[in-house]
Structure 1
Amino acid sequence: MPLTVTLPDGYGYTVLVALGMIPVLGFAQGSVVTTLRAAAKVPYPNPYATADQVKNSKEAYKFNCAQRAHGNLLENMPQTMALLLFNGLFFPLATPVLGLLWVGGRVLYAYGYVTSSMESRGGGRRIGGAFWLAQLGLLGLSVYNALQML
C-alpha cells in the first residue's frame, strides 16, 4: 500500500541543516581531533591524554579540549537532529534558522575550547554557549507542536 507524505514548502532547508550541515560539522571536528591526537602523541585506543601528558605538553591539553568539544557535540547531535526534523514539519523556515544558530554556536564552542589556555580550563568554549539557547528553542517548539497535535 503506497503512502503519500506531504511536506511543507521550505522543509528542504531543515533537511539541509539536520542531515547535511550537522554531520559535516561532526566530521570536521573529528578531523581536528585526529590531527591533534598525532601532535599530542596520544595513541589509540586512549580517548584522552593523561594528566601527566597534559602537564608536560600544550598539544596534549589542546587534544583533550578538542576531544571533549567533539564528545559534547556527539552527545547533543541526535536529539538536535530529531528536534529539527520534527519542528521543520510545522515551522519550515524558523526551524532551520534555529539549526543554523546551533551549528554556528557549536563551531564557536569548539574553536573557543581548542584555543583556550590551560589556565582558563577550557573557558574559551563559553563564546559558543548560545547553541544551548537554540537547542532550548527547538525543544520548546517540539513541546508546542506536540501539544498542538493532541
Structure 2
Amino acid sequence: MPTDIVIPSAYGYVISIAILSVVQLTVMGGAVFGARKRAGVPYPLPYADKAEAETDFDKHVFNCKQRVHQNTLENFPTFGVLLFTGGISYPEITAGAGLAYLLSRVFYARGYSTGTPEKRGHGRFGMLGTLVMLGTSVATVYKLLI
C-alpha cells in the first residue's frame, strides 16, 4: 500500500540548513581564493607543488584550505541526501543534526587551515550528526516502505 508523502511545515528548518550549507561552501571557496592569491598559485593548478609547499608556508596553507574545501565538496552529496530524506519524517531532529554537521565543518576547517593538518580532528563530532541523519533517513525509508 503506497504511502503519501506529506512535507511538514517544519521542513523549512531542513531547507534552511541546506541553504546554510551552500553559504558555508561559498565562504570556504572564498578562503581558497584568498589563499591562492597570497600563495601565488596560478590557475588551473589545484594545489601548490609539494616541494614548494614544504618550503613556503603560504603555499602549504593554500593546500590545506584547498583540501578542506575539496573534502567538504566530496561529502556534500551524502550530507544533502541524508538531510533531505531524513527531514521528510523528522525535520527538527534532522535539521539539528545537519546544523551539528555544519558546525563540525567549521572546526575542521579552522583546524586544518592553521597549516597543521592534524588539527582537522577538532571537527570529528560531525560524524554524530551524520549518523543521526542516517538514522532519520533509514526510518523515513522504513515508514515509506511499510
1:148 aligns with 2:137: no
Q: Which amino acid aligns with 2:98?
A: G
Shift of 1:142: 1.2
Q: Deviations over 1:113-133 (max 9, x none)?
A: 00143xxxx001000111122
Three-state SS of the structure 2 residue aligned to 1:49 is coil
Q: Which amino acid aligns with 1:124?
A: K
Q: Deviations over 1:62-93 (max 9, x none)?
A: 00010001001001112211211111110111
Q: TM-score, normalised by structure 2?
A: 0.91
Corresponding residue number in structure 1 for 2:126: 131
What is the Cα-based RMSD across aligned positions, in Å? 1.5
CA distance in 1, matches of 2:82, 2:27: 22
Q: Which amino acid aligns with 2:27?
A: A
Corresponding residue number in structure 1 for 2:81: 82
Q: How does 1:45-84 map to 2 (within 5 A)?
A: 45-84=44-83
Would the aligned equivalents of 1:116 and 1:125 in 2 still touch at CA under 8 Å? no
CA distance in 1, matches of 2:58, 2:27: 19
Aligned residues: 142
Q: TM-score, normalised by structure 1?
A: 0.89
Segments ≥4 residues shifted beyond 2 Å: none
Using the aligned pairs only, state the percent identity.
36
CA distance in 1, matches of 2:15, 2:51: 44
Corresponding residue number in structure 2 for 1:14: 14
Shift of 1:98: 0.4
Q: Unpaired segments of 5 or more residues in structure 2?
A: none
Shift of 1:102: 0.6
Corresponding residue number in structure 2 for 1:43: 42
Q: More helix by proportion, 1 or 2?
A: 2
Shift of 1:42: 0.8
Q: How does 1:110-129 map to 2 (within 5 A)?
A: 110-117=109-116, 122-129=117-124
Would the aligned equivalents of 2:97 and 2:129 in 1 still touch at CA under 8 Å? yes
C-alpha distance 73-42 of structure 1, shift in aligned 2 (>3 A): same
Q: Which amino acid aligns with 2:32?
A: V
Shift of 1:135: 1.1
C-alpha distance 6-141 of structure 1, shift in aligned 2 (>3 A): closer
CA distance in 1, matches of 2:124, 2:48: 25
